[in-house]
Amino acid sequence: MKTIKCMMDHLYWADERIIDALEGSNTKNNDLLKLVRHVAVAERVWLSRLQGKGSAQYSLWEDAEDLTVIRTMFKENIEQYRVYIEGLEESALEVMIDYANQSGVSYRTSVRDILLQVLLHGQYHRGQINRALRIESADPVQVDYITFARL
């Protein structure tokens, strides 16, 4: 649990840094805004599944124009994930969760694997966002775990 909690703290930190970088870049690149919104919504989708709720109401790939709305989504995700993680016992990591994906296909996945998906998915897309910022001649932001660990 200690490792997952630490990695989740990194996720919260990295999400905030990537939003800060996007705001600082003043980018108008709709694909970038759509991608960062996708990260926030995907985190919310997985949390809903972990909480035993459906996720059909969430659209993973909508356009986004307002980083303030996305920042709010990230803040809400942080609050809800912290509550969820704090109440989670080590043994609960092996509990299997039944859920349907956004296309309605049913799956069964362990809590551990869902949390790892959340952690790795965001890191993947933050890398894509940083690359796009660099291409636009904007400053990418350091979001590597080791940078977080050194704080």
Nearest to 63 by CA among 21, 92, 32: 32
Q: What are the strands, taking DSSP E only, across the chain? A: 96-100, 106-110
Is residue 99 within 8 Å of 49, Cβ to Cβ?
A: yes
Q: CB-based contacts of 132: which residues, under 8 Å, 6+ apart? A: 29, 31, 32, 35
CB atoms within 10 A of CB 84: 15
Task: Find out whether 121 is annotated in a ligand binding site.
Answer: yes
* CA dist 81 → 23, 24, 84, 92, 146 (Å): 24, 27, 5, 15, 22
The response to whether 38 counts as a known ligand-binding position is: yes
Q: Which residues are part of a known binding site for a divalent metal cation? A: 38, 121, 125
- Binding residues are 38, 121, 125
